[in-house]
Structure 1
Amino acid sequence: MMGQFSATPSSSRVMFDEEDNNGLVLCDKYLPVEVLIEIFCHVDCKTLLRCQLVCKRWKMLMNHVWHKKTEWTLGKPFPWNDKMPWTVYYLACTKKPYERNLVKNHSGALYMKYWNLTQNGGHQWRVEKPPAGIPELPQTEPLFKDRQTCFATSYEHCTKVQVIILTDEGIHPHILDTYQPPIEVSEWYGCRWDCPAEYQLRVKLLRHDNTKIDEFLFREVLEGEKLNRWLKIAHVFQNYGPGLRRITFEHRGKDRSFWAGHYGSKMAGACVCVRNP
């Protein structure tokens, strides 16, 4: 009769038993756990999200699958423990946040995009293509292999900052709080052959409410043998404690002769790199 519906379950509900083959029999064929994990590792990340909803057996296997897939994707060992949220692995696989530069537009190829200009004195910030009055950027540095651009400052202080939200980049709070992976910050800096200059780098580790956890501050006067050459400053943050969520990378400079034009310090290759935990 139209409008009526009746259904009889094909079988009674079976309770999950870790000792039986539930979830391991596909198309009437038994697959050992090791084989099933290997198959899952070849599945794309979005499909894996659906796979872990299929049954309890598959859900139990998923952390092992995610861990193995993460190590495949990154090409390096990755931490494992029973309490690790699966989202740690998902973010590592999809965003690949480790061992890469998290600073956007590190040398001015996109002019001032992604940077907040907090001081723009004198003749203001400028991007030089290629750098003027100084040798080319080191070709041994991968960041400069196909790019010869740098930021240049003027005769009054020029300061700009970029904020890196680590969770947005794919680094899970569990990794930051539990493993505290080393964080390396670096930059190349220099000045012209004919004018001394000042350079400063300040990097802060911050909690989500912007309270400071740690800070690295470097200042240098570029004169004498430091003229007309590229120098590199680098620092590694370690054992910084729980709560880290964002990093501010701020650099500034000016010339010491108050000359019109861009005779101040030059900066390129700004880098913040979270090492594999």
Structure 2
Amino acid sequence: MSSWKQRCESDWGIHGAPMPEDLDWKSVHEAAPLGRNLIKNPSPLGLNKDVPPPEPELPEVPGGGPARFQPEGDFSNWTTAVEVLPYDASGIPAGAVICGLPQFSWFSLEQIVDLKAQGLWEKLLDEFQPEIHVQDWYEESQLHQNIYQLQVKLLSSDKTVISEHTIKPTEDLENYSHTWKEVSHVFSGYGPGVRFVHFIHRLKNSFLNDFFPTQFTGSSVVVKPVKTS
């Protein structure tokens, strides 16, 4: 066994995992595909989960101007989209005078992680099947009852879905804590053929004279050197 192959096995604790002889183990070791976050640009809003999310600034004078539906940030490495939702007048008593309604929108960000391009090898994914840990953090707020959605898919080489997990939490509008809320999932026992991880989350924003976003940070996809059951 080459010294680089031994270093990979020792550093990652993957004894018993298939270690093909035909791989460039030096390059694999330098890529460090196990145990690190494979999401690029995980915090495009420049926020940190270890610091409380900033309180929204309420202007003394309404901003006016055209409606805005996307937060400011560096969204490189992400594919983004905006879905503006129709006005919701439900719950308003008949005959009530409506001066203005908030207009909500979903802001989605997605990224596809190519596991082989990150340094993982086929036999490891197909036979050893290490755990794939997904994590995200979003801002608790009273903006709406549903402000966050996460969908993660494990895909084959031809992008066929092998396994997927969707999270759609509901917010407690009676208790305002304004903290980061963790969302996570572990894929295990997913079977052979996984080559990509498709990560997509959607955050709800509101516009009523000013823009009120739902913020997020710390998106991650980590392949851990743990054999799945």
TM-score (structure 1 length as normaliser): 0.58
Which amino acid is the alignment partner of residue 172 of structure 1?
A: W
- Which structure is higher in helix share? 1
Which amino acid is the alignment partner of residue 115 of structure 1?
A: W
- Is residue 267 of structure 1 aligned with residue 222 of structure 2? no
- Is residue 161 of structure 1 aligned with residue 110 of structure 2? yes
Does the 8 Å contact 1:184/1:273 carry over to 2?
A: yes
Which amino acid is the alignment partner of residue 219 of structure 1?
A: K
Counting aligned pairs with the same residue, the percent is: 28
- Is residue 195 of structure 1 aligned with residue 143 of structure 2? yes
Say which structure, 1 or 2, has more relative contact order (CA 8 Å, 6+ apart). Answer: 2
Partner of 1:254: 204
- Measured in 1, the distance between the counterparts of 2:24 and 2:170 equals 43
Residue in structure 2 matching 1:228, options 178, 184, 194: 178
The alpha-carbon deviation at position 92 of structure 1 amounts to 3.1
- Which structure is higher in strand share? 2
Residue in structure 1 matching 2:8, options 70, 78, 91: 70
Residue in structure 2 matching 1:107, options 43, 48, 51: 43
- Evaluate the alpha carbon distance shift between residue 244 and residue 225 of structure 1 in structure 2; reply closer, same or farther with a 3 A threshold: same
- Measured in 1, the distance between the counterparts of 2:143 and 2:18 equals 59
Which amino acid is the alignment partner of residue 78 of structure 1?
A: I
Runs of at least 5 residues in structure 1 that lack an aligned partner in the other structure: 1-62, 123-153
CA-based RMSD of the aligned residues comes to: 2.5
The alpha-carbon deviation at position 86 of structure 1 amounts to 4.0
Number of equivalenced pairs:
180
- Evaluate the alpha carbon distance shift between residue 214 and residue 82 of structure 1 in structure 2; reply closer, same or farther with a 3 A threshold: closer
Structure with max Cα Rg? 1
- Is residue 241 of structure 1 aligned with residue 191 of structure 2? yes
- Measured in 1, the distance between the counterparts of 2:127 and 2:215 equals 37
Once the two structures are superposed, what CA deviation does each residue of 1:47-83 show, in whole Å capped at 9, x if it has no partner?
Answer: xxxxxxxxxxxxxxxx3533322245x3x42234787
